[in-house]
Chain A
Amino acid sequence: QSALTQPASVSGSPGQSITISCTGTSSDVGSYNLVSWYQQHPGKAPKLMIYEVSKRPSGVSNRFSGSKSGNTASLTISGLQAEDEADYYCCSYAGSSILYVFGTGTKVTVL
C-alpha cells in the first residue's frame, strides 16, 4: 500500500483560500468515505481537522472544509491565518489488513 500523494508545499497570503489535494487509489480514497485530515505544528502531535471526508470535529474552525472526488480528496482552508502555518496530512481507511494509509504531507506557508 503506497502513501497517498500530496503536494509538498502550498502557500498563500493571509485571507486567501488554499486547497491541498490528496490522491490515492480505488482501493483507499476511492472506496471509502473515511478520509481525514490532520494538522501538525512543529514538535506537536497531529490534530484532527476533518474526518469522514467533510465532517469537522467540534472546536475546529469552519474555515477548514473537506471534499472528495473519485480517488482524490481535498482540504480547503479559507481566510488563511498565520496560525494555519503547519504540516497537513491526509489519511484514508484502506480496508483489508492495512487499515490506514497516510498522505506524504503538505507544508502550508502563510506569506
Chain B
Amino acid sequence: DQQVKQNSPSLSVQEGRISILNCDYTNSMFDYFLWYKKYPAEGPTFLISISSIKDKNEDGRFTVFLNKSAKHLSLHIVPSQPGDSAVYFCAASETGANNLFFGTGTRLTVIP
C-alpha cells in the first residue's frame, strides 16, 4: 500500500521556466515532509523539508507547499536549470516513527 504517491513519473521543462512536482499522501498522521533529489549512481540528496505546522517553506529557487486538507504537497523550482535534471522523491514521516515513506519518484528533465 503506497502511502506516498507521485503520479507523474516524468516531467520535462524548458530552462528558465517553473518546474512543479506533485506528491499526494494518504496517512493523516504524517507531519513531516521532505524532498530528495537523486542523480544516477548516487544516493538521494536532501533538498528541502516542511513541517505540518507550516504551509510553505522556501530555500532559494526551491519552495515546497503543503495543503494538509488535500493531503498534497508540491515542489516548485524557479527558475529551472539543466543541473536540476534528476529524479525527485517526495517522502513523509510521522513523529517518533524513525522511518520515511517515499513516493516512486518523478524524473525531471530541464531542456536547455
- Tell me if chain B binds chain A: no
A residues with a Cβ closer than 8 A to B are none
Q: Which residues of B contact A (CB under 8 A)?
A: none
